[in-house]
């Protein structure tokens, strides 16, 4: 079960305390009880304020295999939740004003899994893109090395990106055969090659130039990264882009990660003060 930030029981903050001013309802007792947040914070949709909602949320979808194994099922049964859960997340995100979702679907290291599981995932992703080609005005794109993916899946990705590129709704980016280290290495090689060929000077290299060589182009770096499944690491995901992202780890396995735990993550984000190396006090 996922959890919100819990204040120590010995501390009681008045309504005017800066930490949660953005989340307060008219009745402060709905929020603070005996030094910690009441349950109403997790269930009252009005407490999710659009003006403080993250614009870009990255998700590490972890726990599918453990969910299946705990129920004596083949691991494939856990993976089947990827498509419906991402549809649900997209729908909720649109209502909350979130503009971009980046989902870590398959890493460069996941090829080390059994051939049976990998083959199943490739087929599942083919079906995923077929469904998202016509799903709710969502624009879909993919980052990661495509050349290693099955040809049919590559074609499905191309068709979906082309069919949805004009959509004005939420932007869903799927990370497939993606690794943060590899992405940064390729960006470095590309810049080095341009310097060697005289296209740019050494002095031209800066953060902006480097970011343009990354798969994401860093158009909008994630405000919040959510990892389901209880592990507390980034697992080679968006290593450059997540430099100042807020991190949220939940024990909820991805098949169980529905609207309520997703909103809990958003509420946790709204309780934080982002200083980007500076301070506000």
For the annotated catalytic residues, the residue numbers are 62
Please state whether beta strands 224-227 and 246-249 pair in parallel, antiparallel, or not at all (unpaired).
parallel
> Token pair 């501390």 is at which residue?
11
Q: What contacts 75, CB < 8 A, 6 or more positions away?
A: 64, 65, 68, 69, 117
Ramachandran category for residue 128: left, alpha or beta (phi over 0 → left; psi -120 to 50 → alpha): alpha
Cα distance between residue 167 and residue 100, in whole Å:
13
Six-digit token string for 9? 């029981």
Q: Are 211 and 269 in contact (CB under 8 A)?
A: no
Question: Looking only at Cα atoms, what is the longest distance across the chain?
Answer: 66
């Amino acid at each position: 079960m996922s959890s919100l930030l819990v204040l120590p029981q010995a501390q009681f903050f008045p309504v005017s305390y800066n930490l949660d001013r953005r989340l307060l309802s008219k009745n402060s007792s709905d929020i603070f009880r005996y030094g910690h947040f009441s349950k109403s914070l997790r269930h009252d949709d009005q407490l999710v304020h659009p003006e403080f909602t993250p614009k870009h949320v990255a998700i590490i979808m972890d726990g599918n295999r453990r969910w299946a194994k705990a129920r004596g099922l083949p691991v494939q049964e856990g993976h089947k939740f990827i498509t419906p859960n991402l549809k649900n997340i997209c729908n909720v995100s649109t209502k909350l004003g979130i503009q971009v979702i980046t989902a870590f679907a398959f890493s460069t290291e996941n090829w080390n899994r059994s051939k049976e599981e990998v083959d199943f995932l490739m087929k599942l992703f083919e079906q995923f893109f077929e469904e998202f080609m016509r799903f709710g005005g969502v624009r879909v794109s993919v980052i990661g090395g495509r050349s290693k993916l099955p040809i049919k899946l590559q074609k499905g990705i191309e068709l979906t990106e082309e069919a949805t590129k004009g959509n004005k709704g939420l932007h869903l980016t799927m990370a497939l055969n993606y690794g943060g280290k590899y992405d940064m290495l390729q960006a470095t090689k590309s810049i080095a090659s341009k310097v060697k060929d005289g296209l740019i000077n050494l002095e031209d290299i800066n953060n902006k130039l480097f970011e343009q060589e990354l798969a994401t182009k860093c158009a909008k770096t994630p405000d919040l990264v959510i990892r389901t499944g209880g592990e507390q690491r980034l697992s080679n995901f968006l290593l450059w882009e997540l430099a100042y992202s807020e991190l949220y780890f939940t024990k909820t396995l991805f098949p169980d990660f529905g609207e309520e735990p997703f909103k809990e993550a958003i509420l946790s984000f709204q309780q934080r003060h982002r200083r980007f190396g500076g301070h506000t006090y």
